Structure 1
C-alpha cells in the first residue's frame, strides 16, 4: 500500500471519527449546523415549489440544506393561527402561503399586534371545471394579515384610491397565450428533471450497495422515493403554477375600524389562486418534514456505524454532485407563478356588471365582519343585526306619526349596523370614518304602508344591576358619559355576565321634529317594540338623567349628527345594492 492510500484512509477515518463524536441522544445541533452550511437558499426555494414540482425532488437529493427546508415545511404546512402560536411563522413561509384567518370562524389572532391588511373571498367553479367555463360559487371568506408573494406581485400593479376618489374595480385578465407558451415547456422540464433524478438516484444506490454501504443506500433511496412520488402527484394534478378552478377577490388597504379611519384602498376580482396553497402541497410538506428529519438522522447514524471508506467517499461525492445540480436548477429555471403577463382591467362602479357587484358586496360584508370581531362591543352585540343586507326598501328620513301620538308600536324587521355602514362608506371614498360612524345604523320597519328604512342612531348602554354610581369620586370620572371606543362589561354568548345589564338605546327621527326612543336587549332587536315619542328637550334630559349609562351622548345635537352620518352611509348602501 503506497503512502497516498494510507494518507487518504487516515483522513477518512478522522472524518468518520468526528461524525461519531456527535451527541445524537442530546440534540441535533451538530447535524443542523453541518447540513445548514451549504445550499440552503436554493434548497428552500426548490422545496417550496417556486421552480415547479420537480424542484421538490432535487431540493432533498442531498442532506446539505435539509434542516432549514424541514423548518419551512413545518411552517408552510401549519395553519396560520397555529403557526403564529408555535412561533414557526417567518417571511419565507408567509411568502408562499400567506397568513390569514377564516372569517366564518370567531377565533381571532388576539396576540397579533398588526391589524389585517385585507379581506378576501374565494370563488370556486360550481362543477369543478375552469372558472371561465362555469358560474362561480362562493367558498370561503378570509381576513388577510400577510399576502403570499404571488398575490403581492399582482396587487403592486394596481394604483391605490384614496378618500374622495371614485371607486375603481379591477379585474384580473389572464394572458391568453400563457398556456400555449409555457405549459408544454414546463411539463417537459419537470418530467426531464424527474427522469434525471431516477437515473441519478439509482446510480447512487447501486454504487453504495456495491461498496458495502447498504444501510446508507436504502436510507437515501427511501427518502428519494417519497419526494419523487410527491412531485409526480403534484405534476399530474397540474399544481405547478396557478389553479384555474378557483379565484380570489380582494379588498385591501388601510382598513377602517370602529376607532380608525380607512385610507387607501384597492379592489381586484378574479386573481387566480396559487397552486402552492393547495391541500396536496400542504400534505406533502407536512410528511416531507418528518421524512427530512428522519433521513438526516439515519444518514449520519449509517455513516458512523458500518460504512466503508469507499462507501463514504462515494456518498460524499454524490452529495457534492447533487448539490451542484440543485444549484444549477435553482439558478437557471424561472419562477413558475411569476412567469406570465399580468393583465388588469379597471372599471368605475357604474360600469361594473351585476355579478361582479355581488362579489364586491361579499367583500364589504367580510370587512364588516372583521370590524365586528375587533369591536369593543363584542360580536354578541351584533348577533341579531342585518350584517349582509341584500336590499334597502323605501328609504325615509323620518317615521310618520300624528302630532297627538305619545307612544307607538314598532315592528322591527332588522337593523343594519355601524360596521356595515362604515365599511361601505370607506369603499365608496367617504372621507369620514372611525368614530364618525360609531353609533350609526339603519332601522328597517314594517308599517301599514309596507317596509320602510330609516337612518337612525343607537348606543350600547351598560350598567350594574346592583346599582352603579354616576360619578367615580376617586378617579374623577363621569360614569354616565364615557368616550366612544372604550371596553364595556358586555359579557359573551358563551360566558354571559348576569350582573351587568346591556341594552341598545335607539333614536329614530320622527315627523314634527320629534324622536322615537326605545330600548332592546343586547343580542335581540327584532320584533314588536314600544317606542316613546320625545321632543329635542326630552332626548337631552334622558341622556343626562343617569338611566342610560356608559355612553358618550350628552345632547340631542349629537344624536342629530349621528343621524346625518347614517344618512350619508345610507346613500352609499343604495349604490352598493343597485
Structure 2
C-alpha cells in the first residue's frame, strides 16, 4: 500500500503561486531602497534645499542607502572621502573638495598622488583682519597651517568665480563691495514644508495600532531627530537672515585651470580676497548632524527589515505604502524648492595690486606662498627637500627684521670693501610688520 500523497496534493504544496510574504523579502525590499529616490534624498540631506530638506531627505526608507552614503561623505574630511570612494558630484557641489598643505598631513600628501590630472584648480588661505591691526595682536591664525589646495569648489564659489574675468597678464584682485547685504530666506515656505512633515506621525501611530511597536519606534526616532535638527537650523537661518553679511569673509582664493608645477605652466588666474567660506564645511553642528543621521538610518534599515520579516503581510504592505507615499511627496517637494545661491551674486570690484593697502598685499603674498607650498608637495624631489623652507609671511617678516637679520647678515657694514644692500623685496615685507 502506498502512503504517499497524491500527485495533485504535491502540486498544491509546491504551487507556482505561493502566499505573498513581503516580510521575508529582505533582499527585494533592500534593492528598492537602494534604487528609488536616491538622488533627491542625498541632495536634501546635504542641506542644499534649506532646513526642511533635512527632514524630507530621511523621511522615507526608500532611498535610505543614499542618505547613509551622503551623510558619511559630508561628515568625512576630503582625504577620507576620496580614500573610501564617498566623493560624488553632489558632495563636491555642496562642500567642495580640498586637501591640507600642512607639513604634518602625511595622509593628505599620499592621497594627493592618487588624484587624477590636471590636479588642483586653486589654493585657499585663511586671512587675518585686513584693518591694519599689528601682527603681534593677531596670534590665532597661522597662514602656513591654513593653506589648502582645492580640487572642487562648492556651487556658490563656482558661480562666483565663473562671473569673474581671468587675468592673463595684468593681475586683478577681486574684493566685495562694502555695502550691507542680507541673505534672502523663504520663511513661509520652509515653515510650511516643516509642518507638512508632521504627517509622519500618522505612520507612527498606524504602526503602533497594527501591533508593530518596535517598528514604529524605529521610524519615529530618526524622524524626531531630523525634525528638531531642521527646526534648529531654521531658527538659525531666520536669525542670520536679519543680519548683514560680513563684507570680508577672511577666505582668500587663487584659482586657475591648472596650477603651475615643474612640468607644466599655470593657466589664467583669478584672485579673490575675502570670499565667504562654506558654513557647512567646518561646522561642528553639521558634522554632528550627518554622523547621527547616518548612524540612525543604518540602524533603522537593518533592524526594520529584521522585524518586518516577523510581521504579517498586511502590516508590511501598510509600511511599504507609507514609504512609497513619502517618496512621492519628497520628489514633489524637491522640485518645488529652489536650489539658489544668493551669496554668489554679491558684486565684486577689481583692483590693481599696487593700489591695495599693505594688509591686503600681505594676503596676496600669502596666496603666492600657498602656491609655492603646493609646488613643494608635488615636486619630484619630494616635500622632505623643503622642510627648512618657510611659507609663512609672519615667519619671513620676523626673520628679516633688523634685530634678527643683523645677526646673520651684516647688511649695514662694509665687508671686504663691498657694502651689502637690502634686496628690494625686504623693505616691503618689513613694512608689513608696522601697525
TM tier relative to shorter chain? 0.7 to 0.9
Q: Who is 2:194 aligned against?
A: 194
Q: Who is 1:53 aligned against?
A: 51
Q: Who is 1:306 aligned against?
A: 311
Q: Who is 1:233 aligned against?
A: 232
Q: Who is 2:214 aligned against?
A: 215
Instruction: Name structure 1 gaps, 5 residues minimum.
Output: 1-12, 24-29, 127-134, 395-409, 414-443, 455-569
Residues 290 and 391 of structure 1: is their aligned pair in 2 closer, same or farther, counting only changes over 3 Å?
A: closer
Post-superposition CA distance 1:123-150 (Å, at most 9, x none): 4779xxxxxxxx9974622111222222
Shift of 1:251: 0.7
Give distance in 1, aligned partners of 2:220 and 2:178.
Answer: 41
Q: Map 1:21-420 onto structure 2 (within 5 A).
A: 21-22=25-26, 30-106=28-104, 107=106, 108=109, 109-114=112-117, 115-123=119-127, 138=141, 140-162=146-168, 165-173=169-177, 176=180, 178-179=182-183, 182-183=184-185, 185-186=186-187, 188-198=188-198, 200-238=199-237, 244=246, 246-253=249-256, 254-277=258-281, 278-307=283-312, 309=314, 311-338=315-342, 341-387=345-391, 388=393, 389-390=396-397, 413=408
Give distance in 2, aligned partners of 1:283 and 1:261.
Answer: 41
Shift of 1:318: 2.2
Post-superposition CA distance 1:226-257 (Å, at most 9, x none): 21233233334449999859542101112222
Q: Who is 2:411 aligned against?
A: 446
Q: Tell me the secondary structure at the aligned position of residue 275 of structure 2.
A: strand
Instruction: Name structure 2 gaps, 5 residues minimum.
Output: 1-17, 131-137
Give distance in 2, aligned partners of 1:343 and 1:250.
Answer: 16
Give distance in 2, aligned partners of 1:229 and 1:18.
Answer: 32
TM-score, normalised by the number of residues in structure 1:
0.59
Instruction: Say whether the 8 Å CA contact 1:103–1:141 is kept in structure 2.
Output: yes
Instruction: Say whether the 8 Å CA contact 1:116–1:255 is kept in structure 2.
Output: yes
Residues 378 and 340 of structure 1: is their aligned pair in 2 closer, same or farther, counting only changes over 3 Å?
A: closer
Shift of 1:31: 4.5
Q: Tell me the secondary structure at the aligned position of residue 335 of structure 2.
A: helix
Higher Rg of the two aligned structures: 1
Larger mean CA deviation between 201-210 and 237-246 belongs to 237-246
Q: Pick the structure with more helix per residue.
A: 2
Give distance in 1, aligned partners of 2:34 and 2:269.
Answer: 42
CA RMSD of aligned residues (A): 3.6
Residues 322 and 385 of structure 1: is their aligned pair in 2 closer, same or farther, counting only changes over 3 Å?
A: closer
Q: Tell me the secondary structure at the aligned position of residue 62 of structure 2.
A: coil
Post-superposition CA distance 1:20-60 (Å, at most 9, x none): 1436xxxxxx4542113322222111111111122011111
TM-score, normalised by the number of residues in structure 2:
0.77
Shift of 1:572: 12
Residues 573 and 82 of structure 1: is their aligned pair in 2 closer, same or farther, counting only changes over 3 Å?
A: farther
Give distance in 2, aligned partners of 1:14 and 1:271.
Answer: 62
Q: Tell me the secondary structure at the aligned position of residue 254 of structure 2.
A: strand
Q: Pick the structure with more strand per residue.
A: 1
Q: Which has the higher contact order (CA 8 A, sep 6+)?
A: 2
Give distance in 1, aligned partners of 2:316 and 2:400.
Answer: 80
